[in-house]
A and B are shown apart, each in its own frame.
Chain A
């Protein structure tokens, strides 16, 4: 049985019923704010204690991919907002179009993230026994810019001179990097699953001006995931770029 937006007995008006659904989602998002907040707190404390290691760790990230992904994710938020609007004004076909666009942009984001993770594997920057900040500057990969690589080598050497435990402290940075972006990606994967469910519903024409609560509520979740990235991007990618 599908819900169609009939008024349930415990509510007085449809308006109240919709507001209650949104309020429920917001209360879940409050717990999410504190969940991610704890990670941001851990990050802040470690970054202030090991700023050299966090700085060079951050500089190994690809700023073009990171900034590009930020644009992709904000665009997906726009298409999600437009899907909510389409449902509210009764443009049933457009709902599906915008939801598919959102899912597509979300998938692009996750794909780019996969490319970035692969790069870190190749550069020996996964926390563990083979972690070595010196590996990449001394083992160039095909397609590396020699000028960038020389700069990276100089940076790593200076960092070692300043902080001999840089490999230990660098692992802290990358543990937080993978932990935070990984949890963010997990939220995106769950969001993508919800989008597939919404797209199915939109093909059946279930979302109308009278009943669009699922689109609205998943929209709230999707925008929240966008906000997490809005903070992750400057904190992880842009710590120490003015070298």
Chain B
């Protein structure tokens, strides 16, 4: 496998796509999509990051073992975020009144989940 040289045309196309993505992010932030604001913001950011990894960082043209390392990073990150957030999400919190105060759980907390 010989070294793959990515052409400037590809770099400028990706740059243009990243600029469009930034524009969409800023525009969407000022619209009220309710719960979907955060989904759009992170979705666009993830697409932008993927483009940077694949083309600017040459992951698309890298050997499989390098690609495996990249996938591992995402995998371990997903474990850390997924398990921790699942834990926080299923613990009883009393959000009213006063935000975010931890309370002593009562049996009712567990029954209502």
Contact A33 B18 (CB under 8 A): no
Given contacts A71-B22, A231-B45, contact A78 B81 (CB under 8 A): no
Please report the C-alpha to C-alpha distance between residue A48 and residue B19 in the assembled complex, in whole angstroms.
Answer: 29
Q: Which of B56-82 contact A (CB under 8 A)?
A: 56-58, 62-63, 65-66, 69-70, 72-74, 76-77, 80-81
Interface mask (A216-243 → B, CB under 8 Å = 1, otherwise 0): 0001100110110011011101100110
**Any A CB within 8 A of the CB of B5:** yes
Given contacts A26-B66, A226-B52, contact A41 B80 (CB under 8 A): yes
Q: Which of A84-106 contact B (CB under 8 A)?
A: 85, 88-89
Most buried by B among A40, A77, A169: A77
Contact A230 B69 (CB under 8 A): no
Chain B residues closer than 8 Å to A29, beta-carbon distance = 73
Chain A residues closer than 8 Å to B62, beta-carbon distance = 19, 22
Residues of chain A at the chain B interface (Cβ within 8 Å): 15, 18-19, 22-23, 26-27, 29-30, 33-34, 37-38, 40-41, 44-45, 48-53, 63, 67, 70-71, 74-75, 77-78, 80-82, 85, 88-89, 163-165, 169, 219-220, 223-224, 226-227, 230-231, 233-235, 237-238, 241-242
Q: Contacts A37-B80, A219-B57 known; list 6 others, CB within 8 Å.
A: A22-B58, A44-B81, A49-B99, A51-B99, A223-B53, A242-B29
Chain A to chain B: the 7 pairs with minimum beta-carbon distance, closest first: A49-B100, A238-B29, A234-B41, A30-B73, A242-B32, A241-B29, A78-B15
